[in-house]
Structure 1
Amino acid sequence: MRRLCELLSVHYPFIQGGMGNISSPVLASAVSEAGGLGTIGTGTLTVDEVELLLLDMKKRTKKTFALNIPISVTENLKGMCELAVKHAVPVVSLSAGNPAPYIHYFKQNNIKVICVTASVKHAQKAEKAGADLIVGEGFEAAGINSPLELTTMTLIPQLVAKVQIPVVAAGGIGDSKGFAAALALGAEGIQMGTRLIATKESPYHERYVERLLEADDTETVIVGRSVGKVRRILKTAYADRLIQAEGSGIHPDDFEAMTDEEKHRIGAVEGRLEEGFINGGQISGLVKSIPTVQELFKEMMEGAEQIYENQMKTFKRFYLKH
């Protein structure tokens, strides 16, 4: 954990996942102020739109933060990379595409580079290209997912065994138990998205938060397999429409239109759950409270420490008896 915290200049080994077009400087700055790495996601926003978010973010916090750039969906990729340099963004997170062509540009401008991956092969390539940190994202995660469908439990230890740079676990983690489990797998920190939706600093619509709080263990669904666009979302009336459309053999372009970032904004920000979807990871069933980000981080650190102390005592008692 210390290596990760020193690398990112953060107090806690917690990274906020990129939230695309619904990124909010309010929540991201709260994460950074609480000691984690807050993140602004570019999604499909324009360079000008993202610049406004960055300016707002820099007004709200002087602490370290990141800019997540999803390579395959960013229209003006060159302009977005230049924007990160223009505003001296401390950390850039690259996802949804091959990061290799862009890593050197950021590194020569003193920007740390995180690469989000879902396989050992891609993690090794990112490390070879100069990445500072790997986020291994399991299939439990919310939003766009890898078609490989590897789970966090199986992915993280394999990544740790094959790369030398720090590995952060993402997907299905949102409490002290999940954090402790990630550390046991060899991760040096975690990345969270869904859990941060239900915090006091969250700017998202109350219907989104309520839907998350009432969710049980089976309240997320995968859509897009039939068109090669795997995404995990919460069950809603709009999710039912997507499932029905897939069952009827929807064209990939039509599916793309039904699941674009605007449809996500309609659901998450405006709360129109009949007209837009809301992302949700499998952690959804464990989210039952709305703490501040600071309270969440403190509970996760203290809870994980207690778990390890208790488990060590149990292990020693068992070992001595045998």
Structure 2
Amino acid sequence: MNELTSLLNVKYPIIQGGMGNISNAILTAAVSEAGGLGMIGAGTLSPPEVEKIIVETKKRTCRPFAVNIALSVSPYVKEILSLVVKHKIRVVSLSAGNPVPYVSLLQDHGIKIISVASSVRQAKKAASAGVDVIVAEGYEAAGINSSLELTTLTLIPQIVRAVTIPVVAAGGIGDGNGLASMLALGASGVQMGTRFIATKEAPFHDEYKKRIMKANDNDTVIVGRSIGRIRRVLATEYAQTLLEYEKKGITPEKFHQLTSEDFHIIGAIKGDGVAGFMNGGQISGLINDMPSVQELLESMIKEAKQSLQHATSLFK
């Protein structure tokens, strides 16, 4: 147990990242049951859709799980917050926007607040407002990222030095060695998204999982740079189409349309890499198997311990 696991009431310092509209109760519950913190991503889902996932998740696990609200993405922020209070969700993750206006409401209901930050300034602002945990996310991560493009390796120690609350590392982590390295940098735990896609319980299309397991170190690309809307995806045919649009010139409105959750579902759930995109972090190149969530978490903890012990032995 460390400060993070005690705060979140979980066994392992491992959090599942929110996955937007492809979020589901099966994977969320599996992560929580295995000792991590599962997370439902509200994405652009309607309140009834989010509530359905919450109810199903509660049927599958009695352990804590979180709801992620991407503040600049969801059109239903207030309604989702009301659902969180109604269903007594213990942890809320706020990303893609300013968490400050929502801190008091969540604190009044005893809800722990995770705030995602991509810079020291953002982290300090959130910590000053009273959030409980900072997830510091480097641009190695899958999906929507900051245009600052700071790496996890450089971001973690700077944010750890800048705040006094637990810091969780996200972006480019998929095994026990990654966990150990982030702990060595001062993080209290890690958040992962891409690694959880290639697990037995994850109800995503087999083609999506196969593409992640076959990926090499250069099989993800950044789209949206030309308009300042960074997103990391697997290097599929659809990703190449997006890049071609950018070369010719694309409006923010058109890019937003082509990277909407509708096209995310086509890629991730239907497995169509030509007509839709598949989010994927740079860690994809390290993933070549598909364990159960329980097996993954247990192997990560074992590997992290061995890695830290080995590192310590080098100084003897």
Q: Same fold (TM over 0.5)?
A: yes
What are the superposed Cα offsets for residues 249-268 of structure 1, whole Å, 9 maximum, x if unpaired?
01111111100011001100
Mapping of 1:1-322 within 5 angstroms? 2-316=2-316
Secondary structure of the structure 2 residue equivalent to 1:290? coil
Equivalent-residue separation in structure 2 for 1:240 and 1:78 (angstroms): 36
User: Unaligned 5+ residue runs, structure 2?
Assistant: none
2:298 partner amino acid: K
Q: CA deviation at 1:314?
A: 1.9
Equivalent-residue separation in structure 2 for 1:189 and 1:314 (angstroms): 23
Secondary structure of the structure 1 residue equivalent to 2:249? coil
Q: CA deviation at 1:227?
A: 1.3
Equivalent-residue separation in structure 2 for 1:40 and 1:242 (angstroms): 27
Normalising to structure 2: TM-score of the pair? Answer: 0.99
Secondary structure of the structure 2 residue equivalent to 1:201? coil
Q: CA deviation at 1:115?
A: 0.1
Cα root mean square deviation, aligned: 0.7
Normalising to structure 1: TM-score of the pair? Answer: 0.97
What are the superposed Cα offsets for residues 201-220 of structure 1, whole Å, 9 maximum, x if unpaired?
01000000000010000000
Equivalent-residue separation in structure 2 for 1:206 and 1:276 (angstroms): 15
Q: Which of the two has higher C-alpha Rg? A: 1
1:17 partner amino acid: G
Secondary structure of the structure 1 residue equivalent to 2:314? helix
Q: CA deviation at 1:41?
A: 0.4
Q: CA deviation at 1:101?
A: 0.1
Secondary structure of the structure 1 residue equivalent to 2:315? helix
1:156 partner amino acid: I
Secondary structure of the structure 2 residue equivalent to 1:63? coil
What are the superposed Cα offsets for residues 259-306 of structure 1, whole Å, 9 maximum, x if unpaired?
001100110001111110000000000001111111111111111111
Q: CA deviation at 1:315?
A: 1.6
User: Unaligned 5+ residue runs, structure 1?
Assistant: 317-322
Q: CA deviation at 1:312?
A: 1.5
2:121 partner amino acid: K
Secondary structure of the structure 2 residue equivalent to 1:75? coil
Q: Tell me the percent identity.
A: 56
Equivalent-residue separation in structure 2 for 1:311 and 1:266 (angstroms): 43
Q: CA deviation at 1:308?
A: 1.4
Q: CA deviation at 1:73?
A: 1.0
